Amino acid sequence: MWGYVFISPWLVGFVLFTAGPMLASIVLSLMEWELIVPPTFVGLGNFRQLMADRYVSISLYNTAYYTFLSVPLHLITALIAAILMNQRVRFISYYRTLYYLPSVTPAVASALLWSFVFNPDYGLANAVLQMFGLPAQGWFFDPALAKPTFILVSLWNLGSAMVIFLAGLQGIPDTLYEAASIDGANWWAKFWSITLPMLSPVIFFNLVMGIIASFQVFTGAYIITNGGPADATLFYVLYLYRNAFQFFRMGYASALAWVLFLIILVFTLLQLRLARRWVYYEGELREAGR
Amino acid sequence: MLRTALSRRRFLAGLTVSAGMLLLAACAPSAPSPTPTPAPAAEKPSEKPAQKPAEAKPQPAGSKIELFWFLPLSAAPEIKIWEDFVKRFQEAYPNITVKGSYEPWNDYWVKLQTVMAGGAVPDVIWLHYTRIHEWASKDVMRPLDPLLQTDKIDPNEFVFIEGFKYKGKIYGLPKDNGITALWYNIDMYQKAGVPLPTKEMTWEEFLERAKRLTIDDKGKTAADPDFNAQKIVQWAVTMVTTSPRGEGFWTWYKSLGGKLYDDEFKHCLIDQPESIEALQFMADFRAKYRVAPMPGAITEPGDPFRIGKTAGTRGHHATAFFLREEKRTFKWDETFYPRGKGGLVISGGATGFAIPKATRYPDQAWILTKFMTSEEQQKIIIAQKRWASGLRKLVPLQYDPEYHTPNYKMIHVDPLTGVGPQAEPAPSPAALAEIEQVWNSAMDPVWLGKVQVKDVVRDLKAQIDQLLQRPTRI
């Protein structure tokens, strides 16, 4: 019983501030509620409206575009960074801190910083392009480039994934590499046949978390572009926010939130299913072989 | 010792029920304050008692009541001024205390709606005239006409009262005013050898002057063939807002001949040829001629005009206050926006006090509203120079020849006091927030110079029509 008592602060918090609002939002998704007027029951009306809402399609497309490009890129760069940070060189702990630092920088401060870097007239990015004789770009202000620019910016924040990869890399027994070296394996063979399979549970974890986080992309678009230009960065959560806190359509915003929840759930379940084909759990094999 | 076995299931069930009850308790509307008491009319015999609206509940006399008002204020000096008003009000009405919630302007609307949803309905709120249709159409505001009639107050004593009407009824009393003007930096005009703008100037003339005021890092102007638009260091004017909210957009667009909605707010008129032409001129002004900064072009903090990056800006009377407070050393003046096919347009607006329908103390809320819009208090408001008056007869007192330039009277006094053409508020339908979204979505590429107005306007009109025709509660 004492165990439950000890965890009850968290449980009470969870029920009050997570599960409770979630349940409330299910009910609200069936209501039309503009905050200052009493809610009215509309059944599945919000969901029907959502199917025909062009901004839902636009924001879903934008979010999917961002997710499917940024997550793989993010994983690859974080893995490369982790491999570099796993080298036995001097001052390595300082390098690790340096790479992790952006993860603890406030998102709003980072967003403002990047808006300066990619400023079309005075930004550092265009200055570099022009140094090489390349034309200046509109970056966040160009509808064709705004999303790729956000993807580029997302790479700045690779610290958390890098640390998890680093922990995974350090958990791979040296004996495996030693055995491979004796067999004459080169660097690539060791990476492909030892590092990647042994790291696959960590890659899987970062993939799942990365997709979940990417579907909820919000801060940068809210601060830098506010969804523009021409809706190029109108991500799903930004549209949800607008409905909730600018148009005060809480019922519709709740319906949007539940659709997002279902999308993320489907993607996560799909990944769990696909994981059986490519994720290697050494522990499971040991269990099976015992 | 008796020991009761507690299964995990029972524990979790109990926890869920308890937390659920706590949640319900937390979400319930706040408990009403002690039984309210109206301020006895005898407290201030000169004030006529406000008519008791239908929603007002009978209240026993004898005890004090507390009004709750919700205002968008964040700077400490501003809050101090408003707290002094509260002090004076409480001295005049000892049985009423006023508790204020002061929120920064950016958070104001979200917090206001959130506290109202939580059951803590303020008794008096600030509403900007562009939000009157939105709020009134939801049937959450109290029409003030019966109260004005009972107290024999002529609504036309207030400036921009038309902006506070929805379907013929008045939902707020203006407490200030602001008329849009073109402010300009005389030093920059003189340095560029460009004639100062006048009220007779046309948009075409202004564009030609603007080109000569827009300068790149090599000193070339936008009128020169080798002008480098990527290295602009000074622009002619800060772009007015590109979305159809408020008088900044309206003054420019209407003077160019553009139309937004029909009189009943049922149809959008931006697909008419003169509207398309007006919007295209506005887009070209920035994206083609580059005489106004593109989004993100100015990275320095602060207002581009006041920090000397642009030679002109859209502003209202308070621009003089800020220039003086910031001790700007350049010479400045103001005039009307240029004329176009729509002639000279003078547009302005106001914020005012409004009373939510669900207030617990409608009579006292009305007394506070009257107090704040009374001549005595309005005189104190305009003495700050930061705000202008909501009362028409006090508008001439705003002008201080030692503080303002001579054009001040022509722009900020005459158009509200029956001299020459009169100022009008910008049209603001109930669905304005959502109209802004579809507008920005379609018009962003136009403002960036990537698409022509005629290519987006029909689809945009259809979307806006849909929003205009959406049913409202009243």
Q: CA A205 to CA A165: how far, in whole Å?
A: 10
B27 vs A: CB within 8 A: yes
| Interface contact flag, B23 A119, Cβ < 8 Å | no
CB contacts, 8 Å: B19 with chain A: 11-12, 15-16, 20
Cβ proximity of B122 and B101 under 8 Å: yes
Please report where in the chains the tokens 């703008």 appear, as a residue: B197
Residue A15 near chain B (CB below 8 Å):
yes
The 3-state DSSP class for residue B4 equals: coil
A187: closest CA of chain B, how far (Å) = 47
Angstrom CA distances, A79 to A74, A195, B142, B404, stand at 8, 11, 61, 64
Cα gap B357→B124, rounded to integer Å: 10
Whether A148 and chain B come into contact, CB under 8 Å, resolves to no
CA distance linking residue A105 with residue A167, whole number of Å = 22
Bridge partners, B165 (sequence order): B170
CB contact (8 A) between residue A121 and residue B296: yes
In the CATH hierarchy, which top-level class contains the domain A44-289?
Answer: mainly alpha
Contacts of residue B442 in chain A, CB cutoff 8 Å?
230
Q: What's the residue count for chain A?
A: 290
**pLDDT at position B235:** 97
B3 contacts chain A (CB < 8 A): no
Interface of A with B in 164-223 (CB under 8 A): none
- Which residues in B lie closer than 8 A to residue A15 (C-beta atoms)? 15-16, 19-20, 23
Reduce the DSSP state of residue A142 to 3 states and report it: coil
Cβ contact B230–A121 (<8 Å)? yes
The dihedral formed by the CA atoms of B295, B297, B303 and B309, expressed in degrees to the nearest 10: -140
Say if residues A108 and A222 touch (Cβ distance below 8 Å): no
Cα separation, B109 vs B15, in Å, equals 36
Q: Which residues in chain B have Cβ-Cβ distances shorter than 8 Å to A4? A: 6, 8, 11-12, 15
Element (DSSP H or E) covering residue A113: helix A107-117
What pLDDT tens digit does each residue of chain B (474 aa) get? 444 455 555 655 555 555 555 444 444 444 333 333 333 333 333 333 333 333 444 444 457 899 999 999 877 878 888 899 999 999 999 999 999 889 888 789 888 888 888 888 999 999 999 999 999 999 999 999 999 999 999 999 999 999 999 999 999 999 999 999 999 999 999 999 999 999 999 999 999 999 999 999 999 999 999 999 988 999 999 976 789 999 999 999 999 999 999 999 999 999 999 999 999 999 999 999 999 998 777 777 789 999 999 999 999 999 999 999 999 999 999 999 999 999 999 999 999 999 999 999 999 999 999 999 999 999 998 998 989 999 999 999 999 999 999 999 999 999 999 999 999 999 999 999 999 999 999 998 999 898 999 999 999 999 999 999 999 989
Global pTM reads 0.82
CB atoms within 10 A of CB B85: 17
- Round to whole Å and give the CA distance between A146 and A1: 55
In which element (H, E) is residue A148 found?
A: helix A146-154
B140·A119 Cβ contact <8 A: no
Domain boundaries of chain A, sorted by first residue: 44-289
A14, closest residue in chain B (CA to CA): B19
Question: For residue B261, which amino acid is it?
Answer: Y
Q: What is the DSSP letter of B197?
A: P
How far is it between the farthest Cα atoms of chain B? 99
User: By the CB < 8 Å criterion, does B139 face chain A?
Assistant: yes
Tell me whether A234 touches chain B (CB under 8 Å): yes
A119 touches chain B (CB under 8 A): yes
